[in-house]
Amino acid sequence: MRVPRVLLAGAAGLTLMLTACTTDAPADSPEGGSGAELTPDEEWFDEAEFEAQLAQREIPPEGPEDQPWMQAIEPEWIDTSEFVHDAPEDATLCFSNASVSNPWRVTGFITMEQQVEALQEEGRIGEFRVSDAADDDNQQISDIQAFVDSGDCDAIIISPSTTATLTPAVETACESGVPVVVFDRGVNTDCMVTFIHPIGGYAYGADAADFLVENLEPGSTVLALRILPGVDVLEHRWAAAQEIFADSELEVLGHEFTEGDGAKIKDLVSQHLQRGEVDGIWMDAGDGAVAGLEAFEDAGQPYPVIAGEDELSFMRKWKEEELTAIAPVYSNFQWRTPILAADMILAGEDVPSEWVLPQEPIREDELDEYLERNADMPSLHYAKFGGEDLPGFPEAWTER
């Protein structure tokens, strides 16, 4: 009786102590820059792709300047005459959506629906069918299979939930003979007619990190707030930031996973502020940026230099408090493009085989313009949603 009791007490204590010991090194020597690992994880870092994305930021896109969703960076046009539809006004578009589980996807999906309405009014497409997999790979595989089996789809649009798992399902859709359009996250095949996406995660993370490097004195401290580990688009953002911070004089205090939860972000930032100054905040997505800034207010500390996102709650705070900030953008208007691409394909027009959309951060000089354009929009809306010219604007987005 006595021994096990001691053992158990010891186990509880030991667990605490062990966790204390194993992580002592970074906690004790933050000055050495070991607060955060600044070598990107190989699994998530592709040097060539990183360089390519950084270069794409500088390349002027082809296409109409006032319609960024129709622009493409270095497009390689391909012929789609084999998919010409005799009566596009009767054509059925089928869309397999990964989910609408975050405000970014909700905003984009509304824009997509309004784009469909616009084309339907013009008589350019017919029915629009949607299935939502609620972030479940298996569900999405069977959704795509159901579209193929129904035989009703004249074009299939897919926003894959994950890369590797959805690849065979996309291939199945291609084999059915109808044109397939993939957008947002990619898959490991090029069987689709076009793959539509903004420049990418490396460019996003680099925009944010570059801004901090330019606007902070050497030796300043930076805290990185991340949503989740293991998601490629988010990992690429962090890998790019690691690469850039490693070459800078900034001291990265650490990186924290927040799940985008405001309460968690505020708590984590408050704790870092108790232990010392935080001069800059890098975020892999803007969710909860305002909660992080409030932690500075409540601690009576000056605002940090911050990289958020084009989410309106953050941009309004930026304006109100005159922050030194940047809003990296993961172009939300990309949700319009697949519908337009499907329309072009059914009309036999050429489309880019890989349709790289522009992805430009919003900087201080554009802040007022974007706030004005989105004045009536709710706070969890994305400034570069690109739907101002669509039917139903603004009610479709304000009354979601």
In whole angstroms, the minimum distance from the beta carbon of 173 to other proteins comes to 25
In whole angstroms, the minimum distance from the beta carbon of 24 to other proteins comes to 8
Nearer to other proteins, 151 or 274 (CB): 274
Nearer to other proteins, 217 or 320 (CB): 320
In whole angstroms, the minimum distance from the beta carbon of 395 to other proteins comes to 13
In whole angstroms, the minimum distance from the beta carbon of 284 to other proteins comes to 14
Nearer to other proteins, 26 or 63 (CB): 26
In whole angstroms, the minimum distance from the beta carbon of 99 to other proteins comes to 8
In whole angstroms, the minimum distance from the beta carbon of 378 to other proteins comes to 4
In whole angstroms, the minimum distance from the beta carbon of 369 to other proteins comes to 22
Nearer to other proteins, 12 or 59 (CB): 12
Nearer to other proteins, 124 or 384 (CB): 384
Nearer to other proteins, 22 or 86 (CB): 22
Nearer to other proteins, 34 or 215 (CB): 34
In whole angstroms, the minimum distance from the beta carbon of 107 to other proteins comes to 8
The pair of three-digit structure tokens given for residue 147, joined into one six-digit string: 């579209």
Nearer to other proteins, 103 or 200 (CB): 103
**Which residues have a Cβ under 8 Å from the Cβ of 94 and sit 6 or more positions away?**
129, 130, 131, 147, 152, 153, 155, 156, 157
Give the binding site for other proteins (CB under 8 A).
1, 4-5, 8-9, 11-13, 15-17, 19-20, 23, 26-27, 35, 100-103, 105-107, 110, 229, 254, 256-257, 259-263, 265-268, 270-271, 274-275, 287-288, 290-291, 294, 298-299, 313, 378-380, 400
